[in-house]
Amino acid sequence: MGSPGVAGRWCSSSPTDVSSLVSPDQPKRFDLEGARALLGRQLGMIGAGSITHSHIPHWQSLGWEVSVFAHEGAEALAQRYDLKVHATLDDLLASVQVVDVCTPSASHGQLSLRAVRAGVHVVCEKPLALDFGEALALAAEARMRGLTVLPAHVVRYFGEYAALQRASSAGALGQLAILRFVRGGSRPTSDWFLDEDQSGGIVFDLMIHDLDQARWLAGEVSSIYAVQAPATAAGRVPPEVVAHATLVHDSGAISQVQAYWGRPGLSFGPSFDVAGSSGRLVSSPTDAVTVFEDLPGQEPELSYLPPETAEESPFLSQIKEFASILQSGSTGRVSLMDGVMAVAMAEAARESIRTRRAVDLAPWRELVEEVA
């Protein structure tokens, strides 16, 4: 089995010395309850890319005042949504209680860490970072300072996936055995997605959604084996590419996760097929709703089927839950450590692709437990 071989990069003394991950100034820990009582509704958007259009209107609909800082596109975004533009990141951080990081993936970890060190809560688009060490350092710093960091793994808020999780948690499928996830569509139009250093490639950009789903449903992952074709060359991801990962869970369940970028115009098509000892639950782009299969005795009033038309955008559902967490300290369906483990699984998958060996997740999990 492979091992991460990364501990020395980001722990100065030993693989379990997590104290070295936080800043040396050791600030006084926040009075978290007092801070929440004073928390206003000023949110700073960092970045002006396409994903911001799935965030800003929902924050505004919930009564949040949104401002923006971005190297490019801030003025156009501000004009569209009537936002204040900040000339510098420091200016924005000094003016808000929460930031929403919507920049290219390579900057997520450092921008989120900078916000936390400025005493600001963070919502961060997935992934939290492209490097497990950065994600773990962010988690350690946030824990020490008593600040909230919320990873935006929005697929957990899509109706069919939420329904699947409810059914599984209620035992409708019995002991999970085989989980299959497929996600793909037209190749990216922005060039930075094809730069593996900037996007993390198809594993960090797309597969990570279903790596997270597999762990959410079937529990902790003990090992990952992954392949990609065609291979990344000289740091460039092929524009049309497929990656496949096999996950072995502690429970004995097996998850198979496939992600692909295809020709221009190809329809986006996420699907799942999850089977357990008592039944099977399937969703595909050809189905109007998630469907049960082979669930003897399932009564309609007990069905976990989502409505045929979604009541609200999953991005709105996600932001409503995040706003509630930030205002009241409640818990949500995705935690900071869920985001860290998603980065760990994606990093392990990429190492498996590189080495052509299965990778043991134990070293990553041990370090997460130290911080958690």
pLDDT in tens, 273-295: 999 999 999 998 766 555 555 55
Q: Does residue 11 surpass a pLDDT of 90?
A: no
Q: How far apart are CA 162 and CA 272, in angstroms?
A: 12
Task: Quick: pLDDT tens for 221-272.
Answer: 999 999 999 999 999 999 999 999 999 999 999 999 999 999 988 888 899 9
Which superfamily, per CATH, for 7-155+322-335+363-371? NAD(P)-binding Rossmann-like Domain (3.40.50.720)
The pLDDT of residue 190: 87
The pLDDT of residue 1: 46
Its CATH architecture, for the domain 157-310, is 2-Layer Sandwich (3.30)
Q: Does residue 142 surpass a pLDDT of 60?
A: yes
The pLDDT of residue 267: 83
Q: Omega before 230 cis (within 30°)?
A: yes
Q: Strand pairing of 254-262 and 241-249?
A: antiparallel
Percent of the chain with pLDDT over 90: 74
DSSP state of 68: E
Per-residue confidence at 306, pLDDT binned at 50, 70, 90? very low
Residue boundaries of the structural domains of the chain = 7-155+322-335+363-371, 157-310
Q: Does residue 31 surpass a pLDDT of 90?
A: no
The tokens for 220 are 């902790």
Closest CA relative to residue 44, chosen from 129, 105, 123: 123
